[in-house]
Structure 1
Amino acid sequence: MDFKEKVAESYRQIQDQICKGLEEADGLGRFEEEVWEREGGGGGRTRIMQGGAVIDRGGVNFSAVHGKLPEQIKKSFGVDEDDFFATGVSIVIHPVNPWIPIIHMNIRYFELNEKVRWFGGGIDVTPHYIIEEDARFFHSYLKDICDQSSPLFYADFKSWADRYFYINHRKETRGIGGIFYDRLDPEKSGLSYGEILNFSEQVGNSFLPIYTELIERNKDKSYSDKHKTWQALRRGRYVEFNLVYDAGTKFGLETNGRIESILMSLPPQANWHYNFKPEQGSEEEKTLGLLKQGIEWIS
C-alpha cells in the first residue's frame, strides 16, 4: 500500500467511526449512504442524516478522486503538472436545538507527485448563541491536539482560522473559529509526511469527543420561536460564507465534483431578515459582539 492509499484508508475509517458515534449521540437518526463515482476518476461515500432527534441535517463525506487538474486550478496552485490525487473527509452538522452549535471539520490530502503533496484541514464551530464556557472547552481541546505535534501549531492555525472563516462583507467571523491549515508539508512544518498524517488523524479523531460533549451540554436546553428565528438567521450567515468564500466549495465545483456532496454543507432551512437589529442587552446582541477576529478564548 503506497502512501496515498494509506491516507485514504485511514480517512475511510475515520468516516466510519464518526458516523457510528453520531448515530449513538443522536439516538434516532441514521445515516443514509450513497456511493458515487466521479467522471474523470475516483469517487466517494456520501452519508447524510436528516430529521434526527439532535441533528437536523448532517453530512459526513469521504472522497478519493484523481484525474486532470483544470487550468484555473493549476494556475492557482502554481504548478505545471495536472495529474492529481486528492482524498479527504468533510463534515458539517446542523443541529435541531439552537443552543447546540453548527460544526465543520475537514481533513484532506493532495498529491501531484512525490515532491508536490500536502495536507490541509481544520475544525471550527459556528454557534447560534456563543457560550463562552463551550468556546474555552473547544479551543483548549484543539490546543492540546496541536501541542502534541508542534508548540507552534495552535497559535498559527487558530490565527489562520480567524482570518479564513471571516465574512468580509458582514465584517464578522462565521463563528468562534478553531484551527485551519493548508499545504502543510515537511518544509513548512518540520515534520515528516508520516507525522503530518498522524496530526491529520488526530484532528479527525477529535471530532466525536468535541461534538458529543457540546451536544450533551446543550441538547436538553429549552428554546422558543425567537431562538429558532435567530438560528435561521445565523444559518443564513453560514450559507453566505460557504457560497461566497469557501475554497473547498470552489475547488469541488471547478473540478467537476459531485454537486449533492459539495452542497451538503448547507442547512435544510435558512432565513434572511432585512436590516436585522438585535434587542439591546439580548443574547443575540452578545453573540454578534463576539463575532470578531483575534479573540483569545483560552489564556
Structure 2
Amino acid sequence: MQNPTSADIQRVREFLLDLQARICAGLEQRELQSGGTAQFEIDDWERPEGGGGRSRVLQNGTVIEKGGVMFSHINISKLPASATERHPQIAGAKAQALGVSLVIHPKNPNVPTSHANVRLFVAEPEGQDPIWWFGGGFDLTPFYPDDADIVAWHQKAHDLCAPFGDSVYAEHKKWCDDYFYLKHRDEQRGVGGLFFDDLNQWDFETCFQYIQAVGNGYLDAILPIFQRHQNQPYSQAQREFQLYRRGRYVEYNLVYDRGTLFGLQTGGRIESILVSMPPLAAWSYRPEWDEDSTEKRLTDYYLKPHDWLTEHQ
C-alpha cells in the first residue's frame, strides 16, 4: 500500500481549504439572492498540541439561520479511545487528522438541514509504517420532504460514485443509513446520502479523487435545493415542527456521532466541535400528530431506509 508523503498531505490540505472557501461562497450567494447580507466570519485558530484550523460560521442570515464550515489540521501525540476502538494496533500512536466538516441549518423549514464531511487520518505507530485512511460523506435531513429533492440528492451521490465501482454507491448509501440512526428513537436522522470510513482499499490517489468527488458533490447537490425552497412561505406551526425535529439532530450529535466524540477526547476546540448544534431547538413531551399529516408521514415513511432511485423512477 502506497503511503502518503508530506507532499500528498499538503495536496489534501490545499483541496480542503479550497473546498471550504467554495462552499462558503456558494452559500453566501444564496443569501445575497434572497436579499440577505450575512457572510461567513473567518476564525483562524491554533491548538497547543500542534496544528489548528479555520472555522467559518454564518449566523442569523436571511436563508441560513446558522451554518458552520470548519477546516482543521491537527497533530495528536497520543490517540484516544474513539480512534483506537476499531484500530487497536494504533493505540497510543501519534497522528495527524485533517478535514472539512459542515452543518447548515436553514431558517425556512422547507429547506433541509444538510451535513458533509471529508477527511484524511494518518497514524504513525512507533517502528511501523504509517497507517492512513480517508472518510466522509454527505446526508440530508428534511422537515417537509420533497421527493424531487431526495431523488436528485441520491442521484448526485450515485453518479459521483459510479467511476469508482458499480457497488460503491450501494455500499456507502447503506453505511449512511446504518450510521445516521437514532437507536433510542428507532428512526433515521434523515433521508441519507453517503457515508464511509477507513477508506484505503484503493491506492492513495484514487481515494483522494473519491473524497474530492464527494466534497464537490455536496455543493452541486445542495444549492439547487436552496434555490427551490428558500423563499417558500411557511407557517408558525411548521416553524415549531422544525425546531422540534432539530432536537433529534442534537440528540444524535451528542450521543452517537464519532466525530464529536473524537473532538472531545482529543481536547479539541469546543466551539468548533459543537458548531453543528442548531441555534434553536425544542423538545415536546410526546407530541401527537394527525395520522394523515405531513409531520406524521415524515417519521412513518421518510425516516426509514429506502432505495430512493428505484422507488421514484
TM-score band, normalised by shorter chain: over 0.9
Farther-moved stretch of structure 1 (46-55 vs 108-117): 108-117
Counterpart in the other structure of 1:24: 29
* Residue number in structure 1 paired with 2:14: 9
* Cα-Cα RMSD: 1.3
**Alignment-mate amino acid for residue 199 of structure 1:** Y
**C-alpha distance in 2 between matches for 1:206 and 1:162:** 18
Unaligned runs of 5+ in 2: 1-5
Alpha carbons 1:74, 1:81 under 8 Å: kept: no
* 1:54 pairs with 2:63: yes
The Cα shift of 1:131 comes to: 1.5
CA distance in 2, matches of 1:208, 1:144: 14
Question: Offset of 1:81 from its aligned partner?
Answer: 5.0
**Residue 267 of structure 1 corresponds to which residue in structure 2?**
278
Which residue in the other structure is 2:102 paired with?
91
Task: Mark the runs of 5 or more structure 1 residues left unpaired by the alignment.
Answer: none
Is residue 174–residue 291 contact of structure 1 (8 Å, CA) maintained in 2? Answer: no
Which of these residues, 122, 125, 140, is aligned with residue 125 of structure 1?
A: 140
Q: Is the partner of 2:143 in helix, strand or coil?
A: coil
CA distance in structure 2 between the aligned counterparts of 1:57 and 1:18, rounded to whole angstroms: 14
Q: Which stretch shows the higher mean deviation, 203-212 or 222-231?
A: 203-212
Alpha-carbon distance in structure 2 between the residues aligned to 1:71 and 1:178: 28
Q: Deviations over 1:72-126 (max 9, x none)?
A: 2464121245110100000100001000000000000000145410000000000
Q: Judging changes above 3 Å, is the alpha-carbon distance between structure 1 residues 137 and 125 closer, same or farther for their aligned structure 2 residues?
A: same
| 2:212 paired with 1:201 | yes
**Counterpart for residue 176 of structure 1:** 191
Give 1:293 shift.
4.0
Q: After TM superposition, give the deviation of residue 152 of structure 1 in Å.
A: 1.3
- Asked if 1:107 corresponds to 2:122, the answer is no
Instruction: Quote the residue 2:51 is aligned against.
Output: 42
Change (3 A) 1:293 1:285: closer
TM-score by length of 1: 0.95
Partner of 1:298: 309
Q: 1:104 to 1:55 in 2, by over 3 A?
A: same
Matched-pair contact (CA < 8 Å) for 2:164–2:210: yes
Q: Is the Cα–Cα contact under 8 Å of residues 35 and 44 in structure 1 kept in the other structure?
A: yes
The equivalent of 2:3 in structure 1 is: none
**Structure-2 change in CA distance of 1:7 and 1:228 (3 Å):** same
Match of 1:69 in 2: 78
* TM-score, reference length from structure 2: 0.91
Equivalent-residue separation in structure 1 for 2:198 and 2:156 (angstroms): 23
Offset at 1:151?
Answer: 1.3
Counterpart of 2:163 in structure 1 is 148
Q: Structure 1 residue aligned with 2:231, among 211, 220, 223?
A: 220
SS of alignment partner, residue 298 of structure 1: helix
2:253 maps to a residue whose letter is N
Give SS of 2:173's match: helix
Deviation at 1:51, TM superposition (A): 1.0
Q: Residue 291 of structure 1: CA displacement?
A: 4.1
Identity %: 39
Deviations 1:39-80 (A, max 9, x none): 211000000001111100000000001121245246412124
Q: Does 1:289 align with 2:300?
A: yes
Q: Secondary structure at the match of 2:116?
A: strand
Question: Aligned partners of 1:10, 1:156: CA distance in 2, in Å?
Answer: 25
User: SS at the partner of 1:33?
Assistant: strand
CA distance in 2, matches of 1:293, 1:156: 17
Corresponding residue to 2:176 among 161, 167, 181? 161
CA deviations on 1:229-270 (whole Å, 9 max, x unpaired) are: 000011001000000000000000000110000000000000
